[in-house]
Structure 1
Amino acid sequence: MRKMLPGFGVVGTPNSVRAYVPLLKSYGFRVVALWGRTKEDAAKVAAELNIPFHSSNVDEVLLNKDVDIIAVTCAPHMQAPIAVKALGIGKHVICGAPAGPNQVDSLRMVNAAKYYPRLMSLTIYGLRFLPAIDKMKQLILDGYVGDINVCEVKVHFEKAKRDQFDWMCDGTMGGGLLNEIGSDIIDVIGYLTGQRATKAHGMLKTFTKQTEKIKGIREITSDDFCTFQIELDQGSCVTATINGHIPGPFQQEIMILGNKGRLIAKGADLYGQKNDQSKESLLHFDPINFKEEERHGVSEKTRTLIPTPYLKGIIQFIEAVKEAFDKEEERQSYCIDPLLRYSDPQITMRNKLYLACALVLVFCATLALCCDEGVCVSIVSKCLLIKSCDCDMTSLKNCTCCKDCQLCLSKLYTECCSCVGLCPKPDPDDDLQDGSTIEDLHDPIPELFNVLTEQPDIEKRWTTFSHPVHFDALLYKPNHGILDLSKDIRQEATKDNYGSELNCTVAFMSQCYSLRKCKESCKSMGAARYRWFHDQGCCQCIGNNCISYGLNSPKCLQCPPQDEETENQLQEEVNKLVENSVVEEEEEEIDEEFDDEDDDLEEDIGINELKTVG
């Protein structure tokens, strides 16, 4: 009798799920439950993929008796709490890429995986399962390239434009090419070379900040161009460029150059050239087998969502997972041997921690907004190893290790607390002049504010801006870590509570106001709160539907003058005033000279008259 494979519970409804679920089903896995951010999303995807159970409560999926494996495909900032909770209740976990927003979350997942060693805990980095990469690894071990000197990676494609704003548009929530593709690149370089990153330098750029459907005051912050250089622990160097602005088919080249030759993985094919050869030779050819992919449920839309090398690797990954469970008789047991072929013996979440650290190293080198690596690397490593800073710092009130962590950091607490997530990261651009004063107003009148801001003001006394409230952006707090899944926070922020529109509306006064006048003006409009910018004197009145304190940058029309023409006009007026004052002073001096001459003339006439009389 054939063994029944374990059942999958899928957490998340991204587009990639439409590729993963048919692949799992084609290999005999049962997909029995699905979690979505909202009931509508979960129901729609579940009906499309024929999944019997769906919910917007993650606990209902985790505790489902038919679910043995949790596939975490949601946004990166939500991965850690879900994976840790799943492992804690005895579920296997397969976590999707990217690696997450920070290394602290990855460390929690690593510790949970180490605590439950009998449970499968893997990350889907499918590129290392690609047959061409597997062949490449074997040739490197056989000495084809000799000692590795340089690893060069080029990825060219046209990044698809998003239909709506989500976590993939936000760099702080894990979006961007560095996380989406760069994490796979760093993983496969470590797999091929057997080396780890020690130094990194990078540059991230966002060239497309708005699209036809994402525009207005909201901007895309995730990078669409990425380049980085990494120095490995045995002296090898890595240079990678990921360009999402080149139309045409997806192109990827991974070259490993040594003192005896080179190997190049072009897409799913492998080429090689020894130093004594005049041209490259084809070592492994892996064409697209459309019939085989259709058997696995791969559609044309799936091929547009997932590039061919990554899709082939994911297929091999799922096949290895199936083989791991087939080798054991019990449904929930698995054998690690089929997976060891593609990894070191310490596979699972530990590699995820290394990737998170490497990505953070590149990201910090790019933005220079992280803790001082030279000062903090030693003390932070020590505190993490002795587990003084190894706890959930989401709620600082209930933080079990905060006291031990600050004692471990000792005199370097101020410089290094941001490295472990205990305090916010330092901002080099922070300045008191760039700050603002905010205050909640008593007895707001939402109806009055809505009437005043519904249409543009004819007299241009204020300018109105509106944008929809985004749940993920509200619930995710980068300075405090991850979501609290102990209660369903989303039930507190629903359309029933905040209205059908769910729009945050703010009004910027056109003229510069004093703090007192700003408060009085916003109160007269019925606003719920106000924000007064110190440097500009710009006043922002904020509506009742806004969760935060409006926009972070001033947008007053005439405060201060923004265009060069206005500044030139003001400068001309000042120059005229100066010229007029100079002319008036000269005229006064001339008048005084004439008065003196008249006085002298009168004195001379008087003297002559006296002489005549005498």
Structure 2
Amino acid sequence: MREAIMNNYLGSEIKLIDIRVQTSSLYSEGFDWKCNDIMGGGILNLIGSHVVDTVTFLTGAKALRVHGLVRTFTKTTDNINGIRQISAPDFCTFQMELERGILVTATMSSHSANTSFSHEVIISGTNGYLLVRGCDLFGVRGKIQEELYIDSEDIQSEIPNSILPRNFIIGLYKMIAALRRSILPVTEKAGWIKEPVRLAAGFEDGLYVRAVLSAIQLSSQTRQWVKVNIMTEQPDTNALLSAAVRKTAISIT
């Protein structure tokens, strides 16, 4: 899809990106970190982070402001109940306004039981649109729909009995393969080769994704559009103590 966009398959401008992800429960049988949103659990953190990163990877544009709604519909299960309740969200929908006027809508859900994993990514442009469904890519220009890429890799046989969706397996397999190619053999000089992993996400990408997710959470609380602010300075780990020290210094002066 990224190659098709770079080759101007969609035309001069990208107008709209629509992403829908549905999966079964993300919780384990017992209570753990995935049940708590502050510890990194929930569909916004576990799935939404990849959605935000994918959009930036495809378009090269970052979010300016967001509007989101985050909900936890399943707070207890047969194995998680009593004094412990699930706080991690299992439903999230948000909009993002990107640079160059691109609009993104995304809906993710994991509260339906016994639901198989499915996702769709649709990118509309001035001359047509691209659609990813599962691991296949389709393109439409005018009234003509064509198959741009149909998945035929035999990855499942190499990773049998996996509970992960096929596209996750392919992505994990290719990531490990790229890491393997980037590491020099022990017989050669120590170091690594950057080319196989040059498209991998870095620290700045993770910082940006975290800023977008925080803005979505704040938007859900305030029920309004929130500007995405990327942290540029180390946060104050003890704001109350620092305020007291500043106040004392002013008094002494």
Write the letter of the residue equivalent to 1:322: R
Separation in 1, partners of 2:21, 2:212: 19
Secondary structure of the residue aligned to 1:310 is: helix
Secondary structure of the residue aligned to 1:178 is: helix
Residue pair 1:202, 1:229 contacting (<8 A) in 2 also: yes
Render the CA deviation track for 1:171-206: whole Å, top value 9, x for unaligned.
121110000001001100000011000110111111
Write the letter of the residue equivalent to 1:286: D
Any stretches of 5+ residues in structure 2 without a counterpart? 248-253
Q: 1:157 Cα shift?
A: 2.2
Q: 1:299 Cα shift?
A: 3.1
**Which residue does the alignment assign to 1:330?**
189
**Which residue does the alignment assign to 2:109?**
243
Kindly indicate whether residue 121 of structure 2 is the aligned counterpart of residue 254 of structure 1: yes
Kindly indicate whether residue 134 of structure 2 is the aligned counterpart of residue 267 of structure 1: yes
Residue pair 2:26, 2:34 contacting (<8 A) in 1 also: no
Separation in 1, partners of 2:16, 2:177: 32
| 2:177 aligned residue (300, 319, 323) | 319
CA change 1:348–1:327 in 2 (3 A) is farther
Kindly indicate whether residue 233 of structure 2 is the aligned counterpart of residue 349 of structure 1: no
**Which residue does the alignment assign to 1:558?**
none
| 1:148 aligned residue (7, 10, 14) | 14
**Which residue does the alignment assign to 1:522?**
none
Render the CA deviation track for 1:30-52: whole Å, top value 9, x for unaligned.
xxxxxxxxxxxxxxxxxxxxxxx
**Which residue does the alignment assign to 1:429?**
none
CA change 1:219–1:235 in 2 (3 A) is same
**Which residue does the alignment assign to 2:49?**
183
Write the letter of the residue equivalent to 2:237: M
Separation in 2, partners of 1:356, 1:215: 30
Render the CA deviation track for 1:208-234: whole Å, top value 9, x for unaligned.
110111111221111111111100011
**Which residue does the alignment assign to 2:251?**
none
Render the CA deviation track for 1:95-149: whole Å, top value 9, x for unaligned.
xxxxxxxxxxxxxxxxxxxxxxxxxxxxxxxxxxxxxxxxx11110000012100
Write the letter of the residue equivalent to 2:9: Y
Q: CA RMSD in A?
A: 2.8
Larger relative CO (CA 8 A, sep 6+): 1 or 2? Answer: 2
Residue pair 1:327, 1:335 contacting (<8 A) in 2 also: no
Separation in 1, partners of 2:185, 2:133: 34
Separation in 2, partners of 1:394, 1:260: 53
CA change 1:391–1:170 in 2 (3 A) is closer
Q: 1:368 Cα shift?
A: 2.7
Residue pair 1:321, 1:338 contacting (<8 A) in 2 also: yes
Task: Determine which structure has the larger strand proportion and give its number.
Answer: 2
| 1:167 aligned residue (33, 39, 58) | 33
TM-score by length of 1: 0.37
Separation in 2, partners of 1:373, 1:324: 39
Question: Identity of aligned pairs, percent?
Answer: 30
User: Alignment length, in residue pairs?
Assistant: 242
Render the CA deviation track for 1:510-569: whole Å, top value 9, x for unaligned.
xxxxxxxxxxxxxxxxxxxxxxxxxxxxxxxxxxxxxxxxxxxxxxxxxxxxxxxxxxxx
Q: 1:364 Cα shift?
A: 0.8
CA change 1:161–1:324 in 2 (3 A) is closer
Any stretches of 5+ residues in structure 1 without a counterpart? 1-135, 408-614
**Which residue does the alignment assign to 1:207?**
73
